[in-house]
Amino acid sequence: MVVMRDADLSSAHSGRSALQRGRDRLGERRGRAADEAGEVAAAAGQQAAREERRTAGALRVLAPDVNAPTCPSRLILEHVTSRWGVLVLAALMDGTLRFSELRRTVGGVSEKMLAQTLQTLQTLERDGFVYREAHPVIPPHVDYSLTPLGEEAARQVWNLARWVESRVPDVMTARDAYDRA
């Protein structure tokens, strides 16, 4: 609790305006400091953008390496070899399909997995593997087909899927031996 004498009260009034002036000056200094900090941040941002452009040019020269932690090929590989990615690419090898036909072709897609399958299609479309054509009709009619890049990827993952199918007996034997040990 602050106790003030009468003399202090009269000077407090004039002191308040001085206090306010001090606050104003402090606010101005802070504003100038913020402006300077903003200019420094902008300069740093411009420097970072120049560095990014320079680095991006250098990245284009480097060969993709799936073993490198920041290589974009890792994410692309994940998209193509995901459970639904392989099955969708394989199903579209036979030609253009509507989503409902695609769902029937790829057996075992539950309603719960339907949303994940749609996400997979969008991801594959974004990566340039799948072409999506929406027809302006009601109810909506959407066709999916492979792009030339998608056809190439589909052949590769389809060969892998066929190899896996052919090696199921060997894998089952190896599992049994492991479980018995």
**The whole model's pTM is what?**
0.60
Give ∠ CA 131-132-138 in degrees, rounded to 5: 160
Residue 42 has pLDDT above 80, yes or no: no
Task: Give residue-wise pLDDT tens across range 92-107.
Answer: 999 999 988 888 888 7
Which of 95, 102, 104, 91 has the alpha carbon at shortest distance from 158? Answer: 91
Q: End-to-end CA distance of the chain, in Å?
A: 80
Residue 66 has pLDDT above 60, yes or no: yes
Query: Looking at the chain, how many residues does it have?
Result: 181
SS3 of 108-124: the string is: CCCHHHHHHHHHHHHHH
Sequence spans of domains, the chain: 1-62, 73-180
What would the DSSP string read from start to end of 122-151?
A: HHHHHTTSEEEEEES-SS-EEEEEE-HHHH
CA-CA-CA-CA torsion sign (53, 55, 60, 65): negative
Q: How large is the average pLDDT for residues 53-65?
A: 62
75-92 residue pLDDT tens = 898 888 888 888 889 999
Amino acid in position 167: R
Instruction: Classify domain 73-180 by CATH architecture.
Output: Orthogonal Bundle (1.10)
Specify which of 63-67, 116-120, 135-139 reaches the highest per-range mean pLDDT: 135-139
Q: Which are the contacts of 144, defined by CB distance < 8 A and separation ≥ 6?
A: 88, 92, 96, 97, 98, 99, 102, 121, 130, 131, 132, 133
CA 135 remoteness from chain centre: 28
- Specify the residue for token string 């009269």: 10
- Residue 147: which residues within 8 A CB-CB, separation 6 or more? 128, 129, 130, 131
